[in-house]
């Protein structure tokens, strides 16, 4: 079956996802990057991306965030999740040219990201923004309640610009799990995604599934610093996220999929 079949064809998407899983970083024992589709569901459609897919137009995506987006822990720039996401989406959505811009900056807090939102994100006129956020705030700030207003501000600024939005939550890593604010941040991001009707990619739930259910060794998914991801986990996150974006932007998609439980 050709991967250039109709983007709405679920069989073509399933075949493409299997090929992506097989092509994921070969640092893991089988099963490679296996994630139930419901666990990676965004919980909201991506109408701007869907419209561009129907029109066979270019899709501009910005990966916005901190060191997990920039690629700390990856051995090369082409092994970061944004670089691999672009390649995966070109396979899953062959009807449109896809361009993913990496706008991650290590150490950024949510307020620091808002300060550069216009320059680094909105200036690119994105159709989709994947906003990875919250890790540095959890580690460096006591309490997360004060972050609700700036997060909502960022979401609304992106929406006013016409972009689809996917929030990416925390990673399942020892330094995150050790912080008492991690659970509160997970709950806050899930609540904002529901309230604002935007996508949520629960990186935490996906990584927890690898480690707790599949038995993937922690050292395979998390850098020795106990925080950042590895080539393997960046590649697998890109595979899962690409599949979620393709499903959420299908022209046949009408109802949002159920959200996973992202709580620690």
Distance CA 48, CA 251 (A): 11
The confidence score (pLDDT) of residue 43 equals 97
| Tokens standing for residue 60 | 């501009």
The confidence score (pLDDT) of residue 16 equals 46
Does residue 19 sit within a domain?
no
The confidence score (pLDDT) of residue 260 equals 47
Give the number of domains in the chain. 1
Does residue 25 sit within a domain?
no
Does residue 30 sit within a domain?
no
Does residue 23 sit within a domain?
no
Distance CA 99, CA 126 (A): 10
Collect all residues with Cβ–Cβ distance below 8 Å to 167 and sequence separation of at least 6: 131, 133, 155, 189, 192, 193, 198, 199, 200, 201
Does residue 258 sit within a domain?
no
| pTM of structure | 0.85
Does residue 196 sit within a domain?
yes
Taking 3-state DSSP, the helix, strand and coil percentages for the chain, each rounded to the nearest 5, stand at 50, 10, 40
Residue spans of the chain under pLDDT 50: 1-8, 10, 13-31, 254-261
Residue 101 C-beta-side C-alpha neighbours within 13 Å = 17
Residue 164 belongs to domain with CATH number: 3.40.50.1110
Q: Is the dihedral of CA 64, 79, 68, 238 positive or negative?
A: positive
Does residue 218 sit within a domain?
yes
| Tokens standing for residue 257 | 């999929």
Range of the domain at 87: 41-248
CA Rg value for the chain: 17
The confidence score (pLDDT) of residue 9 equals 52
Does residue 133 sit within a domain?
yes
**Parallel/antiparallel/unpaired status of strands 164-168 and 98-104:** unpaired
């Amino acid at each position: 079956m050709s991967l250039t079949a109709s983007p709405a064809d679920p069989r073509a998407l399933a075949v493409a996802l299997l090929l992506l899983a097989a092509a994921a970083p070969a640092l893991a024992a089988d099963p490679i990057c296996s994630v139930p589709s419901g666990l990676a569901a965004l919980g909201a459609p991506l109408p701007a991306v869907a419209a561009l897919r129907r029109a066979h137009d270019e899709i501009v995506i910005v990966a916005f965030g901190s060191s997990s987006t920039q690629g700390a822990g990856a051995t090369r720039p082409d092994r970061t999740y944004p670089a691999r996401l672009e390649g995966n989406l070109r396979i899953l959505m062959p009807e449109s040219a896809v361009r993913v811009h990496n706008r991650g900056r290590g150490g950024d807090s949510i307020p620091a990201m808002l300060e550069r939102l216009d320059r680094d994100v909105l200036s690119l006129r994105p159709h989709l923004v994947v906003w990875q956020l919250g890790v540095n705030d959890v580690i460096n700030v006591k309490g997360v309640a004060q972050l609700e207003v700036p997060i909502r501000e960022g979401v609304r600024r992106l929406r006013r610009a016409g972009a689809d939005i996917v929030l990416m939550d925390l990673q399942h890593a020892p330094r995150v799990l050790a912080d008492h604010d991690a659970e509160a941040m997970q709950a806050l991001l899930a609540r904002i995604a529901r309230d604002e009707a935007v996508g949520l990619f629960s990186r935490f739930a996906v990584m927890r599934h690898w480690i707790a259910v599949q038995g993937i060794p922690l050292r395979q998914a998390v850098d020795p610093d106990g925080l950042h991801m590895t080539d393997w986990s960046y590649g697998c996150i890109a595979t899962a996220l690409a599949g979620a974006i393709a499903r959420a932007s299908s022209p046949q998609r009408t109802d949002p999929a159920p959200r996973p439980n992202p709580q620690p």
